[in-house]
Amino acid sequence: MAAASPVTFDDVRDAAARLKGIAHRTPVLTSRTLDALVGAEVFIKCENFQRIGAFKIRGAYNAAAQLSPEQLAKGIAAYSSGNHAQATALAARELGTSAVILMPEDAPRSKMAATAGYGAEIVTYDRYTQDRTALGEALAEDRGLALIPPYDHPHVIAGQGTAALELLEDTGELDALVVPVGGGGLIAGSATTAKALHPGIRMIGVEPEAGDDTKRSLESGERVTIPVPRTIADGQAISTPGEITFDINRRLVDAVTLVSDEEIVQAMRFAFERLKIVLEPSGATGLAALLSARVDNLPRRIGVIASGGNIDTERFTALISG
């Protein structure tokens, strides 16, 4: 008998109710130009317009809101390269508590500044030589804080699944859903939602070529660890999938495809010039997979989650004009 999933569609629906009035219901964008280039009808869920500029507020708030009053009084902690950091800081502010965030020293300055701007204390580490999970757990324990990890937590995953829930409510049935993959929380929540509503939908993950830990793990049937990736997609610079996310994704994700940094930049440029939206590298990988013909057996109606747009002007300009 198969073990029960740690995250159910009911959990996602409960998260949607909890997030009402907290997370934005982001728009779904279509483009005839994009459809013609891709050869399919494409629906883009614009999480770059979400609070904090990315989907992460969904999971962070859903998890934080379920802490006990005693836990909230002590404060919360998280570790993140940027978007989950901002989301946790904002969730803490919304719930009237404090946050301490562990961030890599080379995290984008704009993401650090935004996290501090929401009132969080920032502690830094070297992502290439130190284990952020161990550091984050030790930090939370030492200070008596409730730790909200960026993806490997049932409440976080359920919250992330609300983006796909909104998309499918707005578009109706889709043949495929293309989702960026970092630690796997967004696609795990999305797959839980999409497969519950439309069992025949194809779930396609997208990773940067340098950070193919989930693709390798799904192919081997067990979690694989790679060196910390060096890619412009900093939100996807993960060395191994989460334990909970991998358990869900190996059951529900149909394929993971890879895109190069150059293909990501081309997608960012297309989004800016033709769609009139700004995407950060990690937020553009799903679009990059479509524009670069990385999806096999292209279906007729495709959803893609543009997961975030947190990038400062200087870096954005340097990337798209390079």
Q: Which residues are catalytic?
A: 56, 81, 207, 211, 213, 307
144: left (phi over 0), alpha (psi -120 to 50) or beta: left
Q: Rg of the chain's alpha carbons, rounded to an integer?
A: 18
**Which tokens is 154 given?**
């049932």
| Chain centroid offset of residue 58 CA | 10
**Residue 303 DSSP symbol:** E
The angle at the Cα of 267, spanning 204 to 301, to the nearest 5 degrees, equals 40
Distance of alpha carbon 180 from alpha carbon 245, whole angstroms: 13
DSSP sequence for 3-16: PPPSS-HHHHHHHH
Distance of alpha carbon 284 from alpha carbon 305, whole angstroms: 9
Strand partners, 54: 308
The angle at the Cα of 223, spanning 125 to 230, to the nearest 5 degrees, equals 40
**Which tokens is 186 given?**
């967004």
Which of helix, strand or coil describes residue 41?
A: strand
Q: CB under 8 Å to 39, separation ≥6 — which residues?
A: 298
Find the helix or strand (DSSP H, E) in which 225 lies: none
